[in-house]
Amino acid sequence: MADKNIVNKIVSVLQKNTKNFIQPLAQTIIKQYGKKPFLILVSGILSPRVKDSTSLQVCHELFKVAQTPKQISEIPIRKLEKLIYKIGFYKNKAKSLNKASKMIVEEFNGKVPKTQKELLSIPGVGIKVANLVLGIAFKKPEICVDVHVHRISNRLGLIKTKNVIQTEKALQKILPEKDWIEWNTLLVMWGQNICTPVSPKCSICKLSKICKKVGVKKHR
Ligand code: SF4
């Protein structure tokens, strides 16, 4: 198990060295539209396998037209596809968005539910988006594990896991609960700027001295 001091050190290094980085998508949405759980959920449904900058642009275009579950549920599917066509898998995502909005209107009285079980029942919402909404929108201690969190937590040598489900469980054991929500925010920024998927920038990484660089074959 990872030493508590190492985890604390990593969190404080990342907090200090990500101040000037562009915030992840959900935080940027909050900054521009206020803390609205539904908009965080929508950004989570739209963002998989898409660059944050593209997702943000598409969110802006969609939010100009509609911002509530009822409004989005009333957009004809072809129009919804047109609004979000710039992102990958837009047809499937338009379908999910339409169904998710309808379900929130019909089954949750127009409000994003606050439990993991209910969130997971919504089309297009997997564990990553559910935990993102719970953590960022409702401040419930959950660890949102995306590709950055999975990759960097393993490279650091904090955990040894094969998939995001294992990563979530392993991180719950080693991270203090107070850091669960922020772990995603910090590691997403680190993953987008320093510990990139291919050839991470280890030579300028402030975590280099404590990182075990597990599985890193090529770096800059
Ligand atoms: S030292 Fe390299 S592998 Fe480790 S966190 Fe930094 S960039 Fe990633």
Domain at 35-137, CATH from 3.90.950.10, 3.40.50.300, 1.10.340.30, 3.90.1170.50: 1.10.340.30
Q: 193 C-alpha vs ligand 1 centroid, how far in Å?
A: 11
Please tell me the distance from the alpha carbon of residue 204 to that of residue 13, in angstroms, as a whole number: 13
- Counting from 1 in the atom list of ligand 1, the atom nearest the Cα of 216 is 3
pLDDT of residue 55: 96
Tell me if 195 CB under 6 Å of ligand 1: yes
pLDDT of residue 49: 87
Closest CA to 31 of 19, 22, 42, 41: 22
Closest CA to 140 of 117, 122, 119, 114: 114
Instruction: Output the pTM of the full model.
Output: 0.92
Q: 207 C-alpha vs ligand 1 centroid, how far in Å?
A: 6
Q: Where in the chain is the domain with CATH 1.10.1670.10?
A: 4-22+142-204
Q: Where in the chain is the domain with CATH 1.10.340.30?
A: 35-137
Q: Which two tokens stand for residue 115?
A: 């439990």
Instruction: For domain 4-22+142-204, give the CATH number.
Output: 1.10.1670.10
- Counting from 1 in the atom list of ligand 1, the atom nearest the Cα of 219 is 2
pLDDT of residue 93: 97
66 Ramachandran zone, left/alpha/beta (phi>0; psi -120 to 50):
beta
DSSP 203: G
Instruction: State the sign of the Cα–Cα–Cα–Cα dihedral 152, 153, 155, 156.
Output: positive
Instruction: State the sign of the Cα–Cα–Cα–Cα dihedral 173, 179, 182, 188.
Output: negative
**How many of the other CB atoms lie within 10 Å of CB of 53?**
12
- Counting from 1 in the atom list of ligand 1, the atom nearest the Cα of 194 is 7
CB 141 within 8 A of CB 177: yes
pLDDT in tens, the chain (220 residues): 567 789 999 999 999 999 999 999 999 999 999 999 999 999 999 998 899 999 999 999 999 999 999 999 999 999 999 999 999 999 999 999 999 999 999 999 999 999 999 999 999 999 999 999 999 999 999 999 999 999 999 999 999 999 999 999 999 999 999 999 999 999 999 999 999 999 999 999 999 999 999 999 988 9
pLDDT of residue 1: 52
Q: 153 C-alpha vs ligand 1 centroid, how far in Å?
A: 10
